Every structure is written in C-alpha cells, then in structure tokens.
Amino acid sequence: MWARRVRIIVATSLALVAAPRAPLAQETDLATEIVEAFNRLFGTHPGARANHAKGIVATGSFVPTTEAASLSRSALFAGPPVRATVRFSDATGRPDIPDGAKAANPHGLAVKFHLSDGSETDIVLNSLKFFPVATAEELRDLLVATAESPPGAPEPTKLVQFLASHPNVPRASATATTPTSFAEEEYRGINAFVLVSKSGGRQAVRFMATPERIAHLEPAEAEKRPPSFLIDELGTRLARGPVTFHLQAQLAKPGDPTADPSRPWPDGNRVVDLGALTIDRRAPDSAAAEKALLFLPGRVTDGIEPSDDPMIAARDAVYAVSFARRAQ
Ligand code: HEM
C-alpha cells in the first residue's frame, strides 16, 4: 500500500519538475529501499534530505565558452548568460553534522540552470574523484551493511565482509577530504553524460566544477573547526565578493567506461572549459529555498543526454522518493 502511494507521489513529483521520464516500478522500489537504508543509518529528520541533509543555497549565473557550443547544441551553451541556483552540502542525512566531520565528506555542489524558455537543467556533483561502488544496488547493500555493523557488532561485521569484496570503497572515500571552504573544492559529476552537437556528433563526458584555488584541511584540524564553519565562511565570502568555478568536461576516449562511475578515466584525457559559473549571493532564506529545491541528475536539456550508466535513472528515482518524503 505504502509502496503504491510512494510510486504515485514520486511520479507526480517528477511530472511536476519535468523529469525525463517517470521511474519504472522496480526503480521506485529500489529507491524506497535506498532512502530507508539512509534513514536507518542517519535517522529520520522531518523535512530533511535522506542524504546531503545540511547545506546552503546561493545564486549566480553561468557564461559559456564558444568551445562548449561546438560540443553541445544545448541552450545552456548558446551564448547569453544563464541564471543559476546552487546548493553546497555536507554528506550524510544528518542535518546537524559538523562540517569538518570525516563523515561530512564528500561535500556536494548541485547546480540548477534556469534556461530562457523557463525550463531547467541540473548538474549534481560531489568531491569524490570516483564513486565507491558501480551500481545503486551496491550502494544500498553498503548502506545496509554499515547500518548493521554498529560498534560491538560480532566480527567480522557485515561492513567488514562487504569491504572485503569491494576494495574500491575505501579507495574512493579517501579521495574526498575536508576543504578550507566550499569555494575551494573541486567537484565532479562522476556519472557520464553525452554532449550532442548541432551536427549530431556525440561525445561522452564527465562534468567537473573547478575553483580558482583548491585547499584542504588536515583531518585533525578539520575536526576542531566550528560545526558550521563551511556554511558560515561561504556567507562571509559572498558578502565580500563573488566566487567563480569553471564548469569543465572531461572527455571520454574510445573504450573509457561510461556505465561504471566507480572507474575513473585516465587523468591525461582532454578537459574542455565549458564556461564560468559565478556565484554572487547567498539565498536570503536558505532553509526555505533548499526545502523547495529538487535537483535531479537526469534532468538535462536537449544537447545533453544521460549516458548508458543506469545509476543516473536510479538516482533520479531515489532523489524523488527523498523529496516526496521531505515535502510531506
Ligand atoms: C546510487 C547512487 C546515489 C544515491 C542512491 C544517492 C542518493 C542521494 C539522496 C537520497 C539525496 C537527497 C535528495 C533530495 O532529497 O533531494 C542525494 C543528494 C545529493 N547527492 Fe546523491 N546519491 C547517489 C550518487 C551521487 C553521486 C554520484 C553524486 C555526485 C556526483 C551525488 C551527489 C549528491 C549531491 C550533491 C546531493 C545534494 C543535492 C541537493 O543539494 O539537493 N550523489 N543523493
């Protein structure tokens, strides 16, 4: 009964925000299991996201490069500046997590571009260099194994067993540490997308948002910082002046895996600058703004397409279930 209600709420939420397609029943069932696994691990916090619960909303604009227009016919890259809403966040479903906690990694940057025809296109990034697991099902299993391995659980714990067969998890987690500022971190889209040019040329890419300066804290130093030092610092920084990121695309070479976000592409692959994202204003009421905002990785405009990575549709369904629950 509840599963059916969730399916209806999710389908309605996605229809309202013009998502690419309604999720399949099995995607919604998996999404519900994943949201419940996040809740089991981090607790249920009414009104909060199941993951990346703590964050701050700001606004700005995006100015594309001409090279972006040659790769993609998207209205995002057509030329005129595009308004953007962004949300920086800490990982986990704990709205009170200290920004410097180890578990607050990876930090997130979600960007919503408001196109001139009234539609939206989203890019959702985090500070991992690659994903710990290959599929959404594996992420569910990792979350469940972690929830079932509290301190004192009999050894080998479920988590120890999971990690033994998934050595990529600690490797990926180690790529994200606490930044000195939300504005001094590099964020990656991790899942591959396809840019489609005016002539129909197709290029698989992974998005990145690169700041003017990247700086990280030692873990011991990060733990000592005030609980909301990243959120507060961004507000202070924006009061002084704008923050700029370069939206970039790492291009796939033939044979690079597009369907597996746990496998990074070679560092030597070409990176194209798609344009400058300038963030200049903290949302006047960030708490109300973040409640209403729904970022969907698969909500992309013509000229940008999801790749063959099934995690993108899985994420759309999970974010919609999380949204449906936090909106209630
Ligand atoms: C199967 C894989 C994943 C699952 C199940 C998952 C799950 C979630 C959930 C439940 C939310 C809260 C959504 C909401 O209530 O609006 C969320 C938010 C977020 N996720 Fe993921 N995620 C996955 C992969 C990723 C990846 C690969 C990235 C980065 C490339 C990422 C970055 C983010 C960010 C930045 C947010 C916060 C969005 C916001 O500010 O509203 N996630 N994720």
DSSP per-residue codes, 282-322: E-TTHHHHHHH----TT---TTEEE-S-THHHHHHHHHHHH
Probe target for ligand 1 pocket from 87, 124, 137, 188, with the most ligand atoms within 8 Å of CB: 124
| Coil, helix or strand at residue 99 | coil
Closest atom of ligand 1 relative to the 188 alpha carbon: 30
Residue 17 has pLDDT above 90, yes or no: no
Q: How far is the CA of 295 from the centre of ligand 1 (A)?
A: 9
Give the residues surrounding ligand 1 with Cβ less than 6 Å away.
34-35, 38, 49-52, 55, 87, 89, 108, 110, 124-126, 131, 136, 139, 189-191, 261, 293-295, 311, 314-315, 318-319, 322-323, 326
Residue 296 has pLDDT above 70, yes or no: yes
Instruction: Give the model's pLDDT for residue 15.
Output: 54
pLDDT band at 16 (very low <50, low <70, confident <90, very high): very low
| Coil, helix or strand at residue 194 | strand
Residue 5 has pLDDT above 70, yes or no: no
pLDDT band at 26 (very low <50, low <70, confident <90, very high): confident
Query: pLDDT tens digit string along 123-147?
Result: 999 999 999 999 999 999 999 999 9
Residue identifier of the C-alpha nearest atom 34 of ligand 1: 108
**What stretch of H or E contains 138?**
helix 136-147
Determine the Cα–Cα distance for residues 277 and 113; give it in Å rounded to an integer.
10
Which among 25, 28, 112 is positioned nearest to 320, based on CA atoms? 28
Closest atom of ligand 1 relative to the 326 alpha carbon: 15
Backbone phi and psi for residue 224, each to the nearest 5 degrees, phi listed first: -85, -15
Q: How far is the CA of 210 from the centre of ligand 1 (A)?
A: 19
Q: How far is the CA of 260 from the centre of ligand 1 (A)?
A: 16
Backbone phi and psi for residue 282, each to the nearest 5 degrees, phi listed first: -75, 140
Residue 114 has pLDDT above 50, yes or no: yes
Query: pLDDT tens digit string along 209-229?
Result: 999 999 999 999 999 999 999
Query: pLDDT tens digit string along 243-259?
Result: 999 999 999 999 999 99
Q: For residue 62, what are the β-bridge partners? A: 82, 277
Q: For the chain, list the domains and their CATH numbers.
A: 2-326 (2.40.180.10)
52 is catalytic: yes
Determine the Cα–Cα distance for residues 265 and 277; give it in Å rounded to an integer.
24
Return the higher-pLDDT residue of 91 and 8: 91
Determine the Cα–Cα distance for residues 203 and 307; give it in Å rounded to an integer.
10
What's the mean pLDDT when you consider all of the chain? 95
- What are the percentages of helix, strand and coil residues in the chain, rounded to 5? 35, 25, 40
Which among 205, 223, 311, 210 is positioned nearest to 265, based on CA atoms? 205
Share of the chain above pLDDT 70, in %: 94
Probe target for ligand 1 pocket from 45, 49, 89, 130, with the most ligand atoms within 8 Å of CB: 49
pLDDT band at 13 (very low <50, low <70, confident <90, very high): low
Probe target for ligand 1 pocket from 45, 51, 312, with the most ligand atoms within 8 Å of CB: 51
Q: For residue 249, what are the β-bridge partners? A: 207, 272
Instruction: Give the model's pLDDT for residue 10.
Output: 59
